[in-house]
Amino acid sequence: MIRSSAVEMASALAKGEITSVALTQLHFDRIASVDTDVHAFLHLDTDGALAQAAAVDAKRAKGEKLSPLAGIPLALKDVLVQKGIPTTCGSKILEGWRPPYDSTVVTNLKNNDIIILGKTNMDEFAMGSSTENSAYGPTHNPWDLSRIPGGSGGGSAAALAAFEAPLAIGTDTGGSIRQPAAVTGTVGVKPTYGGVSRYGLVAFSSSLDQAGPCARTVLDTALLHEAIAGHDPRDSTSINAPVPNVVAAAKSGDVKGMKIGVVKELNGDGYQPGVRARFDESLELLAKAGAEIVEVSCPNFEYALAAYYLIAPSECSSNLARFDAMRYGLRVGDVDGASAEEVMNLTREVGFGREVKRRIILGTYALSSGYYDAYYGSAQKVRTLITQDFTSAFTKADVLVSPTCPTTAFKIGEKSNDPLAMYLNDIATIPVNMAGIGGMSLPSGVADEDGLPVGFQIMSPVMKDERMYLVGAALEAALLSKWGAPILSKAPSLGGLA
């Protein structure tokens, strides 16, 4: 049962073939069996999840109308607050903090009776592409335990790939949902910015952060998207408009007559041969399904990475100023005679990791007097140009596509001492965040040279997220027909985790 899709699990629950309590316990048993090796979870809410599952079973027994995902377990990235449950953001500075309220995403999950198993590992404050920056140790890719599961949401993606949960929530600031999905053979979606509330999402870069759904199939992801999305007056950036009909699109998968634009600037050199081969094959399958493949140019994308690494650190330096040891979280050096400034400095020195400190310093410099216009201001101008490139491209194509990542999963430690090499992992995903549009990654096969999964990225205009699901469902169906089994069946015993 744990290897089934969420839709299949929901069907079994509806037919009375299994209870939510039993299904939840099966996943806790799986976690107990494999998570010592994978390290996808930071905290499990065993009692709370089983109590929630029992309540769903009681509702079902009474004949109450339930949501499509009622009773299905989920893994929650540890950057979204849940009342009374530890929230660390992968950082020592928040160790032991238990939020007094639920994020809107968690409220929506509870309202849909989705069972929250626990909180997943992540790069500290979502800053990273490998989940190696977590203060609690790295997460391992279930395909090969010596490799990274992507980042910053590697814990959520690894939980899916290791069959520890059928659903997960991630957040995406520059690719942190899509890149982990690509390297673990799972599906991840960054909705349109403002499509899912950021209330209760601990901020890294407020103009870029976006929570989104993760799963093992396109339809499962669409159902979760529908459950968590919608307008929220507590988030000033939330879009007051109907949620795109993503579920109907995922069920349709009809791309006949659609124009699919291959972004020239994201289709050049620098891709691993296996990544390139799977991308080209996917385009052929979409063409056979009735789509028209066209090339589009977005010339300012070449500046996206540099602009992102000025905007995101600048916003992070401001957002992380709140962790000052005065109100909650870690507090170091609080002895007689110590000033507030000394306590603050000692706490931030001990509590923040190397990558977080690097970005705070970079952002503070970019915002400083005499440099603001040259760095942060110029980066925002580039952002406008990138948005204009997307607007122009979407007049020529219904969706845009590219490989999600330049390579498959690399070895743990391979790039940890080379920040620029690490940052380049997000070269194809960052433009989506800069423009606030929707982005999806789904598996397109495995690379011939290493047998590891490859991701295919689909980009859609603002609040046209259903287009991603149309194309994603079409490609998923074509690949399933070609392979005869889901991609995770190709994993070599899930890194020895049978």
Catalytic residue ranges: 77, 152, 176
How far from each other are the two terminal CA atoms of the chain, in whole angstroms? 14
Q: Bridge partners of 225?
A: none
For the purposes of burial, counting CB atoms within 10 Å of the CB of 118, is it exposed (0-12), middle (13-18) or buried (19 or more)?
A: buried
Question: What is the C-alpha radius of gyration for the chain, rounded to an integer number of angstroms?
Answer: 21
Are 125 and 89 in contact, with CB atoms under 8 Å apart? Answer: yes
CB 161 within 8 A of CB 151: no
Whole-angstrom distance, CA of residue 28 vs CA of residue 22: 10
Residue 474: helix, strand or coil by DSSP?
Answer: helix
Q: How far apart, in whole angstroms, are the C-alpha atoms of residue 342 and residue 332?
A: 9
Question: What's the token pair of residue 400?
Answer: 């845009």
State the Cα–Cα distance between residues 375 and 386, nearest whole angstrom: 16
Strands (E), 363-494: 399-403, 438-446, 453-460
User: Is the N-terminal amide bond of 152 cis, ω within 30° of 0?
Assistant: yes
Tokens of 384: 């406008």
> Which residues contact residue 405 at a Cβ distance below 8 angstroms, ignoring those fewer than 6 apart?
150, 179, 182, 183, 275, 425, 428, 429, 454, 455
DSSP 8-state secondary structure symbol assigned to residue 191? P
β-strand 211-215 against 167-171: which pairing, if any? antiparallel
Q: Quick one: which H or E segment has residue 213?
A: strand 211-215
